[in-house]
Amino acid sequence: MSFSTIEHNRRRQNFEGISSVWLFGYGSLIYKVDFPFLEKRPATITGWQRRFWQGSHDHRGTPEAPGRVVTLIETPGARCKGMAFRVSPDVFEQLDVREKNGYLRFSTPMEFDNGAVEDGLVYIATEDNPAFLGPATSEDIARQIARSIGPSGPNRDYLLNLAEALRALGDHDAHVFEIEDHLR
Q: What's residue 2's pLDDT?
A: 52
What is the tally of structural domains in the chain? 1
* Domain assignment present for 50: yes
* Distance between CA atoms of residues 163 and 182, nearest Å: 13
Q: What's residue 82's pLDDT?
A: 98
pLDDT tens digits along 42-56: 999 999 999 999 999
pLDDT tens digits along 133-170: 999 999 999 999 999 999 999 999 999 999 999 999 99
* Domain assignment present for 183: no
* Domain assignment present for 111: yes
Which residue in 39, 64, 99, 118 is the catalytic one? 99
pLDDT under 50: residue ranges of the chain: 1
Containing structural domain, residue 74: 6-178
* Domain assignment present for 1: no
Exposure of 158 by Cβ count < 10 A (0-12 exposed, 13-18 middle, 19+ buried)? buried
Q: What's residue 9's pLDDT?
A: 60
Q: What's residue 4's pLDDT?
A: 78
* Domain assignment present for 112: yes
DSSP class per residue in the chain: ---B-HHHHHHH---TT---EEEEESSHHHH---S--SEEEEEEEEEEEEEEEEEESSSSS-SSS-EEEEEEEEEEEEEEEEEEEEE-TTHHHHHHHHTTBTEEEEEEEEEETTS-EEEEEEEEE-TTSTTB-----HHHHHHHHHH-EETTEEHHHHHHHHHHHHHHTT---HHHHHHHHHH-
Exposure of 26 by Cβ count < 10 A (0-12 exposed, 13-18 middle, 19+ buried)? buried
Q: What's residue 1's pLDDT?
A: 45
Q: Is 99 a catalytic residue?
A: yes
* Distance between CA atoms of residues 47 and 160, nearest Å: 25
* Domain assignment present for 30: yes
* Distance between CA atoms of residues 59 and 98, nearest Å: 9
* Domain assignment present for 77: yes
* Distance between CA atoms of residues 51 and 80, nearest Å: 10
Sign of CA dihedral 148, 152, 154, 160: negative
* Domain assignment present for 184: no
Q: What's residue 97's pLDDT?
A: 84
CATH code for the domain in which residue 15 is found: 3.10.490.10
